[in-house]
A and B are shown apart, each in its own frame.
Chain A
Amino acid sequence: MATQNDKWSDALKSVASAVLAIHFICVLVVCTANVSPSQLQARLVKVLAPYTRVLNWDPNFTRFQWTHAVPEHDDHRILISKEDIQKSDASAEVLQFGIRGSLRRARHQALADFMAVYAAPGQELDDVTALIAGRVGNFALRRRNETGSVKVRVDGWEPQLMAPASAANPSTASTWGTIYSAEVWADPGGEVQVLKDAARGEVALPQAPLGTGPQETGGSPGVVTP
């Protein structure tokens, strides 16, 4: 059983209508700009950001398409090891907590995905990857009460193409591939240095001494100050 009750004044309805219209225009703009925004959309997203970002109406960090079959949308994981992971995966620890399907696991995947996006060829942002790799490596060393260095690596899953009906299960040919690898050094004073391993064939002779951290493997160094 129910009773009908309460009424809104005309003035309140007018104000509510105006607010509604503005609100949903903002929501529609930021949602439709989620994938490949035009210049206009990108500009509007920036203009509306004080409202849409602060109240989280803008899902800009969320990949609602799930996949577009590009490497950045595959599964990623972060590995840490005291030894050179390139030589052996046996001693590597996969930085992945929580059971499969849990939000806890999803957050670790989100961090690995975030690193992978900015480590991908053509989109490299060494500042981003070095910062996270430095923190991850430092955390691993502190947890083990160690100083020295640790290897941090981001792997991406490489699924195979769909196979015809007669072929074997194509997923059995899938494998992990390395997207990013770096050596993280933490000294007792708390300074952290990140030395990115360059891909074979991309290594160039340094024009001048690099100055920070050990340089036996080549690559570009970054410094993270805790």
Chain B
Amino acid sequence: MMRGFLRYLANFSQVFAAAWHRFWFQASDPSPLAVLRIFTGLAAIDYFVSWAPDLQYWWGQDGILRPEDVRNLLRFTDEAGQFYGISYLNLLESPWLLNGAHAVAIVVAVCFTLGICTRVASVLLWLELLSYVHRAPMLTTHLDPVLTAVVGYLCLAPCGTRWSWDAWRRNRVPVQSDEPVQFDSTVTTRWTVSSNFAQRLIQVHLTVFYLLFALSKLGGDTWWNGEAMWWLTAQSDSPLLDASGLGRDPIWINVWTHAIVGIELLYPVLIWNRWTRPLIMMAAIVSWTSLALVTGRITFCLLMIGLQVAFFDGLSPYPLDESHGEDSSDG
């Protein structure tokens, strides 16, 4: 009995090690990461541009949240609050310096999106996003934790190898010295382990997020009894669409609520199977679209839709090639 169990453990560790290796350390096409770079870059541009009109209001010398205020608020409300506040923005008291640093942040986000010096831009963008979060963590929205995580992972990847200024510059082939440069479409895309590694990091973190979305909802009665979407549609300021008329017919509110929780519960399971992946992706897109209309968190919901690309194999969400048929699960 004991010997059988030990043999099982030995076999299990071998199979697990092989699957782990295949999952994390094989080379892959960086194209999905390039698409993710563009989506997250656009979200980052929106993030920084949306701060611009209110920089002095929030963080100016007479602003609402001075560095010492943020420290005090965190001291009162958060036991581990002392680990926030690591931000270069705390050092910028002059309006000129604050506005200048903010302009630089927008330029970096644009460079990242267009793939200009992508590797440097991605690291700078990540540090800037963290600095903004740390400057006033009580102002974070749903977008901040997702955006900082994805940009952090993209720092590890060659996400500028396609659809970028960097790729265009690299692929230019001078035909003759006195003729204008031409784009050489035959230049190949380099598959790398780091592409796969970063893509897997984003995939796993996304499934953890979905697990968090589902479990945090199920921590309250309202998502169990099917009324949660009513409480969202019946708000005053958040909804973009007046769907409160649905309150007269609770069945539709119940269907909507249960569907959102169901999709978020099933997502971390079905996304790993290549045959169920397109189905759960479509369901997630519908779910995020409906949530965007009701909660008003447009950038966050659009980013969550865009992040579905993290599960693309190359540039397709579909299992098109029969030669890959044996490998039905990535894990």
Interface of A toward B, CB cutoff 8 Å: 1-8, 13, 16-17, 20, 24, 27-28, 31-32, 34-36, 42, 45-46, 49-50, 53-70, 73-75, 77, 96-98, 100-107, 109-111, 114, 118, 125, 127-128, 131-132, 135-136, 138-139, 142, 157, 159-160, 162-171, 174, 176, 226
Contact = CB atoms under 8 A, between A and B. Distances in A.
Contacts of A162: 227, 230, 247, 250, 253
Nearest to B17: A17
A157 B76 contact: no
Interface in B56-97: 57-58, 62-66, 69, 72-73, 76-80, 83-84, 86
Nearest to A28: B208
B145 interface: yes
A157 B248 contact: no
Contact of A69 (B192, B194, B220): B220
B83 A6 contact: no
A65 B248 contact: no
Contact of B143 (A34, A103, A132, A170): A103
Nearest to B26: A4
Q: Is the interface of B mostly helix, strand, loop or mixed?
A: helix
Contacts of A3: 188-191
Interface residues of B, number: 98
B219 interface: yes
Nearest to B83: A53
Contacts of B212: 31-32, 34, 59, 64
B130 A135 contact: no
A100 B297 CA distance: 9
A103 B24 contact: no
- Nearest 10 A-B pairs (CB), nearest first? A68-B220, A171-B244, A159-B234, A49-B80, A53-B83, A103-B50, A59-B145, A69-B222, A65-B216, A35-B219
16 contacts: A5-B190, A6-B194, A8-B25, A53-B80, A62-B145, A64-B142, A64-B216, A68-B223, A68-B228, A102-B50, A103-B143, A109-B238, A135-B63, A139-B64, A165-B249, A169-B247
B41 interface: no
Contact of A61 (B140, B194, B223, B250): B140
A35 B215 contact: yes
Contacts of A75: 235-238
A69 B141 contact: no
A42 B64 CA distance: 30
B259 to A, nearest CB: 14
B235 A111 contact: no
B232 A135 contact: no
B180 interface: no
Nearest to A136: B64
Given A3-B188, A62-B140, 20 more contacts: A2-B188, A27-B208, A31-B209, A31-B211, A35-B215, A42-B79, A54-B83, A56-B144, A56-B149, A64-B209, A67-B222, A68-B219, A68-B220, A101-B240, A101-B296, A104-B53, A111-B138, A169-B248, A170-B247, A170-B248
Contacts of A106: 141, 296-297
B108 to A, nearest CB: 17
B141 A65 contact: no
B54 A6 contact: no
Given A68-B222, A131-B72, A169 B245 contact: yes
B258 interface: no
A104 B298 CA distance: 12
B205 interface: yes
Contact of A64 (B213, B231, B296): B213
Interface in B22-74: 24-25, 27, 29, 46-47, 50-51, 53-54, 57-58, 62-66, 69, 72-73
B197 interface: yes
B244 A131 contact: no
B119 interface: no
B234 A160 contact: yes
Nearest to B200: A20
A6 B193 contact: yes
Contact of A165 (B66, B76, B139, B248): B248
B320 interface: no
Contacts of A7: 193
A125 B76 contact: yes
